[in-house]
Chain A
Amino acid sequence: MSKLKSISKLKKYANGWSFALIALVLIIGLPIYTLFFKLFDKTTESVWSHLVETVLADYILNSIGLVILVSILTLLMGISSAWIVSTCRIPFRRQFEWMLILPLAIPTYIAAYTYAGIFDYTGPIQVFLRDIGFSELVYIDIMNFWGVAVVMALVLFPYVYVVARSTFMSQSATLLEASRILGSSSWKTFFKIALPISRPAIIGGLSLVMMEVLNDYGAVKYYGVSTFTTGIFRAWFSFGDPNSAINLSGILMVFIFIMIMAERLQRGRTKFDEGARIGRQLKRYQLKGWKKFFAWLVCFIPLFLGFIAPVFQLILWSFQTIKKIIDFEFLVLMANSFGLALLAAALCVTFSIIILFAVKVNKNRFFSLLAKFAALGYSIPGAVIAIGIMIPLLGFDKFLISTWEHSFNLKIGLIFSGTIFALTFAYVVRFLTVSSNPIEAAFKKTGDSIDEASYSLGAGSFKTLLKVNLPLIKSALISGGILVFVDILKELPLTLILRPFNFHTLATKAYELASDEMIAESATPSLIIIVIGTIPIIILNRLMKTSKSDGSIIN
């Protein structure tokens, strides 16, 4: 009886949605289990032991050091500017409010070589120093660990800024006013009330910064700092040793896992930031004199260094080189980038819909866990995903080639690895989270009773999705798609590993030109990436204005 019962209970989950969900998760998880199983393959190769003896310590120290240093810098810049923008009256406050997010549009690798160019011997700073009569001895070398940390922080601090600002703004005015009535200064109010309440959200934003740092390849490579990602590239391309690449990826994943767990733990059961979200807006502090100027600088400097200066420099370079760079090949480049990003974004949105709706139809712990698993990709560095996809696909291709040759005496080329297929696949694995987050939030907002209303009127699940759910979450679909599109356009490490031979995107071309000492020539593709990168920022800003969201849209 009870056995029959449990079978009949399982039967209710046997539908097209659950099968589609399971199939998608199995496919999307491919790089994860590849890494997992390969990691336990015994490898006694000399390359790995050589790496362990020589450079592994460097990789670990540099990666951890960068994460810590960039975290400190982004926290300083992000929290201070967010606090001033939300609680003080300064000139151009409204403009700062959204412009401080703009640095996010510049990928770390573009910021890196732009700043390298600015500080270069022939760059504007050295030229200026020589013009005003300084000797050539005053040379500021930024091509090192410290330099790359500062440059990365300059374009990553908005992750912290965005969440800090939205929690500061949503904190009830009465709470902060109560603190002042009880005799606290504005500084004490900040440290004792505002900051502790915002902590969970800010750390959430900070964890995105850390992921970006660990994901970065272009910037650290350009500045000659060896980290896990450069190590993975070296093991893969220079030594041709997939096992070492996997071992490095494995260690990197352990770090990331610890980071995620730590973030979950610190969030804990803190519910107070939810409850604090009622009440009026705070009346902003009126600053005077040098305090006002200082506050203004705290907002202006990150914006200037993080966006205005590098973009201005890129525009100058672009003017100098645009004639040389715009040709037929460049149009192909654009078509490649846009087409690929469009395709992958459409797939991401479609898969997100299927996965999330399947969870909605089959309310069950197991299915929501599967959906969470499918969304792990964003926390895995691009290089790691690339390796995790390349290895099984290569193996599969080899198998296909040998069996076809064997049984049909036919010679075929690579079908999956080293093709657009592998690249698109990897994009979907990595960026599925980006599209599923806004869609999941939108599904949550529409609620379940509207689905039930549709079923009670005789509609099946497919009609319910098509006629009721999708029209209601249209804007989430569009913004999810745009976010993925932009992320793919900027993506570098994964594309570098998986792109077909001689296939270029805007990102890889910009990076290649910069690496070949043609920084000025790389400015045009870089600018296109940046301009398109500002689109989601505008969307994001509008979303925050309307919903006062807690920043989870970018999470």
Chain B
Amino acid sequence: MEVLSIKNLHKRFGKKLQYAVNNASLTVNKGELLALVGESGSGKTTLLRLVAGFEEADQGQISINGDIVVDDNFSMKPEKRKIGMVFQDYALFPHLTVAENIKFGLSKSQFPNLNERVREITDMVGLSSYENRYPHHLSGGQQQRVALARALAPNPGLILLDEPFSNLDAVLKDQVREEVRSIIKKAGATALFVTHDMRDALSSADRIAILKDGKIQQVGTPRELYETPKNLYVASFFGKINAMNATAENGTYKLKAGEIKGAKTDKKGQILIAIRPENIEILTEPKDNTFPAKVELAQYFGDHQQVHADIGAETHVVIHAHEKILFDKGDNIYLRFNPNKIHVLDTCWYPGLVS
């Protein structure tokens, strides 16, 4: 069942030409955690605030649990939308205790015994002994859990989290990601969260939507995005990737520098191919289906070496080598591209990234 459904949403700020959110459509299913990932300025926070009702859409539709909350000429007030929200700076009420913070959004009609509900929620987030503390007496991770508890307490249909992990230090982050995910799952809530850090999304989300320039580039499970990225932008979100223009014919990719044979593809004509650094093998002897190359730069990272190599015809590639041999600038090597790990992308997306 769809808890959140966004259709063709548009938002522009002031008289700017560029859309902050450009024709975005998205659905979030019951019990699902969906992460909106993008760089700053990609429109991910605007999209979240449009759902919350703190910004007004120019065009498009949003419905929550089947009720339309945004439509042309209509926008439900944020306080009527029955949404929980966890803010980037937590926005805990500093003059209220943990219990009072949680109680703020609860109504007698929904929960006849308010104190019992507060206890239930603080138990769930593991803060039952902190009920009477004030926010400034809590650590960052604890404040985060209070913010989450406050948002979950009224049993909202949907909870929104704005950069929930950005205020935490690296050590705490790993632990909190896991905690937040398990609390949301335990509460049976549906969540949409915004982050700029792919690792946040990979470790806590069921599905990920990647945004760029206000447009949703691709939505899918982490595995789908990694294995079948639609375009170079999505592909490059998971780390370095080598992209090259090629011509496809009968399972062979023809590059300027040579040919890669043996690909299981039925693509034909001009295409854009991409391969990750770990899917290129370095050999010291020429073999079938290899490219002669020259090492331009080799960096040692302990578990792997990052080798930049020139394969001729103005084409440069990056390889992650796990061999024991140490390479050095000027070494002559041979590269084998694993034909089954080559992604075929939408052509000419962000041509600047293509080498």
Q: Which residues of A contact B (CB under 8 A)?
A: 4-5, 8-9, 12, 447, 449-450, 452-460, 467-468, 471-472
Contact = CB atoms under 8 A, between A and B. Distances in A.
B177 interface: no
B78 interface: yes
B89 interface: yes
Contact of A453 (B77, B80, B87, B154): B87
Contact of B104 (A5, A12, A449, A454): A454
Contacts of A468: 93
B73 A449 contact: no
A447 B92 CA distance: 12
Contacts of A12: 56, 75
Contact of A458 (B56, B73, B79): B79
B95 A456 contact: no
B-side binding surface: helix, strand, loop or mixed? loop
B85 interface: yes
Given A452-B85, A458-B105, 10 more contacts: A4-B73, A8-B75, A447-B91, A453-B92, A453-B150, A454-B93, A455-B77, A456-B160, A457-B151, A458-B154
B133 to A, nearest CB: 17
B269 interface: no
Contacts of A447: 89, 91
Interface in B75-104: 75, 77-80, 82-85, 87-89, 91-95, 104
Contacts, number: 70
B222 to A, nearest CB: 28
A5 B73 contact: yes
Contacts of B77: 455
Contact of A449 (B88, B94, B150): B88
Contacts of B92: 453
Contacts of B85: 452-453, 456
Given A4-B73, A8-B73, A452 B82 contact: no
A452 B87 contact: yes
9 contacts: A8-B75, A449-B89, A452-B52, A452-B85, A452-B91, A454-B93, A456-B105, A457-B104, A457-B105
A325 B147 CA distance: 62
Interface of B: 52-54, 56, 58, 72-75, 77-80, 82-85, 87-89, 91-95, 104-105, 107, 150-151, 154, 160
A114 B93 CA distance: 51
A458 B107 CA distance: 9
A441 B94 CA distance: 17
Contact of B78 (A4, A452, A467): A452
B79 A460 contact: yes
Contacts of B72: 4-5
Q: Is chain A's interface secondary structure helix, strand, loop, or mixed overall?
A: helix
Given A458-B154, A459-B105, A472 B95 contact: yes
B154 A457 contact: yes
Interface-central residue, A455, A468, A471, by most chain B CB under 10 Å:
A455
Nearest to A8: B73
A136 B134 CA distance: 72
A449 to B, nearest CB: 4
A4 B59 CA distance: 12
Given A450-B91, A450-B93, A471-B95, A455 B73 contact: no
Contacts of A471: 95
B78 A449 contact: no
Name the 4 nearest CB pairs between A and B, nearest first: A457-B105, A453-B91, A456-B85, A449-B91
Nearest to B78: A455
Contact of A456 (B73, B83, B107): B83
Given A456-B151, A457-B150, A472 B94 contact: yes
Q: Which of A453, A454, A460, A471 has the most CB of B within 10 A?
A: A453
Given A5-B73, A9-B56, A455 B89 contact: no
Contacts of B73: 4-5, 8
A459 B95 contact: no
B306 to A, nearest CB: 38
> Interface centre among A456, A458, A472, by most B CB within 10 Å?
A456
Contacts of B160: 456
B95 to A, nearest CB: 5
A452 B74 CA distance: 20
Contacts of B93: 450, 453-454, 468, 472
Nearest to B151: A456
Given A5-B73, A471-B95, A456 B56 contact: no
Contacts of A9: 56
A460 B94 CA distance: 19
Nearest to B89: A449
B1 to A, nearest CB: 23
A468 B104 CA distance: 10
B307 to A, nearest CB: 43
A452 B95 contact: no
B209 to A, nearest CB: 21
Given A452-B54, A468-B93, A471-B95, A458 B82 contact: yes
A459 B79 contact: yes
Contacts of B87: 449, 452-453
Contacts of A460: 79
Nearest to B74: A8
Contacts of B88: 449
Contacts of B78: 452, 455-456
A458 B52 CA distance: 12
A447 B82 CA distance: 22
Nearest to B88: A449
Nearest to B156: A456
B104 A456 contact: no
A456 B84 contact: yes
Nearest to A474: B95
A496 B89 CA distance: 52
Contacts of A455: 53-54, 77-79
B114 to A, nearest CB: 13
B214 to A, nearest CB: 19
A458 B89 CA distance: 19
Of B74, B85, B88, most buried by chain A (CB within 10 Å of CB) is B85
Contacts of B104: 454, 457, 459, 467
Q: Which of B53, B74, B91 has the most CB of A within 10 A?
A: B91
Contacts of A4: 72-73
A462 to B, nearest CB: 11
A447 B93 CA distance: 11
Contacts of A459: 79, 104-105
Contacts of B54: 452, 455
Nearest to A470: B95
B156 to A, nearest CB: 8
Contacts of B58: 5
A459 B80 CA distance: 9
